[in-house]
Amino acid sequence: MTTRQLPAAPIESDPAPEKSPRPRRRRVKRVLGYSALALAGVACGGYLWLDATSDVHSTGQAECTRVTPVATAAQTKGQAEKDHAAVCGVLDSMADAWDRNDADAYGKKFTENATYTTFVGTHYTGRKDITDAHRALFEGFLDVRFLSPDTAVVTSRGDTYTGDEPDELSKIQTYTLVREPDGEWRIAAFHNTQRQSVMERVSFIFSPDTRPEAEK
């Protein structure tokens, strides 16, 4: 009996294991994480630089009476000086009234139908509404202009705070005062604007001609 040996079946080797994508993903995540940290560092550094280089040059006068007023042709020098003192007196007495917590005295410095707009856009109408609203402090007077013998506009820098005065006053405040029939000067409109120092600095960098003359 003849025995025939069948050829041995080839032994299949195990396929080479595929490389896991996990290490590659980890590397990508690591690179992205480092990039994000680097960008955050650059952004933070840039913001701090912009903030540090955005100092206000025109800080104004500590006293309203030290500002040289712009008079109208209808005013004599003597009348302009008298009206200037009266306008500044209104603002001084406003601050004094709030220091005494005398809301009624504060409110009397506004006309009955006065308007008051805060830097966040809150708009108050009428003396009572304004009196009940909030306190504003006045520190750096920039400009006093008489639009007519009975109308004046005062621009100042100020802020609201408790305790020590802040190093930088962050608001621009505009007052429109009128001389009423009883001869007293009162505030007819008040507008408060928050200064965005970093955005202001950015705009000056990209468009230098927008910088006010007083800030050059």
pLDDT in tens, 141-158: 888 999 999 999 999 887
Q: In what order do the strands lie in the sheet with 123-125?
A: 123-125, 110-117, 185-194, 171-179, 151-159, 137-148
pLDDT in tens, 32-50: 877 777 777 877 777 676 6
What is the pLDDT at residue 180? 96
Angstrom distance (rounded) from CA 143 to CA 128: 28
φ and ψ at residue 16, rounded to 5 degrees? -65, 135
Q: What is the mean pLDDT of the chain?
A: 80
* Three-state secondary-structure class, residue 25: helix
DSSP codes joined into one string, 143-169: EEEEEETTEEEEEEEEE--SSSPPSS-
Q: Which long-range contacts (CB under 8 A, 24 or more apart) does 202-209 make?
A: 202/50
Angstrom distance (rounded) from CA 16 to CA 192: 74
pTM: predicted TM-score of the whole model, two decimal places: 0.67
pLDDT confidence band for 80 (50 / 70 / 90) = very high
